[in-house]
Amino acid sequence: MKYPDITEKIIGACFEVANELGAGYLESVYQKALAIVLRQKGMSVLEQYPLTVYFRNQSVGDFFADLIVEGKVIVELKAVKALAPEHQAQVISYLKTTGRPVGLLVNFGSPKVEIKRLFKPENLQDE
């Protein structure tokens, strides 16, 4: 598993945010709160990191990853009743686009924070 030390710190920070805020806020609130906790732990955090998808060397879409932690782990946040397969697909797409090997999908929308660790498909080569 890639970057277990980083992902464990992020997961711990997610529980801190969930315990202090609880459910019911917008995704942007959790993003800002999680960034604060991670920075207080001495981690580097980029918020709303721009991603561009290319097809045949032409830009076909622009997206934003909620957080990039330590330049290595993508963190995508949700505040929904339950995670859906398309949420996981979104993180996998971000991993493919950036070449990063691991991402966390975090849902603050239910009474208990839900966290999924996702990985870039192995058949894709890093550029």
Position 1 scores a pLDDT of 72
Residue 122: which of 89, 95, 85, 84 has the closest Cα?
Answer: 95
| Tokens 């598993």 -> residue | 1
pTM score, whole prediction: 0.91
Per-residue confidence (pLDDT) for residue 127, from 0 to 100: 44
Question: Could you tell me the domains of the chain?
Answer: 4-119 (3.90.320.10)
Predicted pLDDT of residue 122: 76
Break the chain down into helix, strand, coil percent, rounded to 5: 35, 30, 30
Q: Is residue 116 predicted with pLDDT exceeding 80? A: yes
pLDDT value for 40: 98
Give the per-residue pLDDT at 124: 53
Question: How many secondary structure helices (H) and strands (E) does the chain include?
Answer: 3, 5
For the chain, the distance separating the N- and C-terminal CA atoms, rounded to the nearest angstrom, is 20
pLDDT > 80? residue 75 = yes
How many residues appear in the chain?
127
19-59 confidence digits (pLDDT tens)? 999 999 999 999 999 999 999 999 999 999 999 999 999 99
